[in-house]
Amino acid sequence: MNIYDVHPQDLISKVSQTLKTSYPEIKKPEIIEFLKTAHFKEFPPTDPDFWFVRCASLLRKLYKGPVGMKDLRKAYGGRKVKDTRKSRTHLASGAIIRRCLQQLEKAGLVEKFKKEGRTLTSKGRSLLDKTAAEIAKEQNRI
């Protein structure tokens, strides 16, 4: 069973709950309620479990192989809406992504890979695969 066999939203929500309950190394910073996810956003995230959801989403993005910070910032970026000028895309905040990755490294789920970026460890890969298998079993896909 592979993570691409289940719906991404189901996988991320289930993994985020696992990270919240089973990994004490992953905890949201106290200042998170004041941080925006990108400079073009108007408000910070309103979801109380935003930190764990972002960590789970990062784990899913790292499943394919080594991914660098620039690619992750681009993936979480978006469009800045301007009044009369044409909108263009901007990168997301690197601080939030970096802090999430550092906590995932402490938990042993992510590791640095040469100079190419970060990748999942076998522990992180098995967490995602087991969670995907549980979801597929619940949905009677196996």
Measured in degrees and rounded to the nearest 5, phi and psi for residue 103 equal -70, -40
What CATH number is associated with residue 56?
Answer: 1.10.10.10
Q: Is the pLDDT of residue 140 over 90?
A: no
- DSSP SS3 for 2: coil
Q: Is the pLDDT of residue 32 over 60?
A: yes
Higher pLDDT, 88 or 128: 128
**pTM here?**
0.89
Average of per-residue pLDDT across 18-43? 86
What's the token pair of residue 54? 């972002």
Range of the structural domain that residue 108 is part of: 3-138
Q: Is the pLDDT of residue 82 over 80?
A: no
Pair type for strands 78-80 and 88-90? antiparallel
pLDDT at 106: 94
Q: How many domains does the chain have?
A: 1
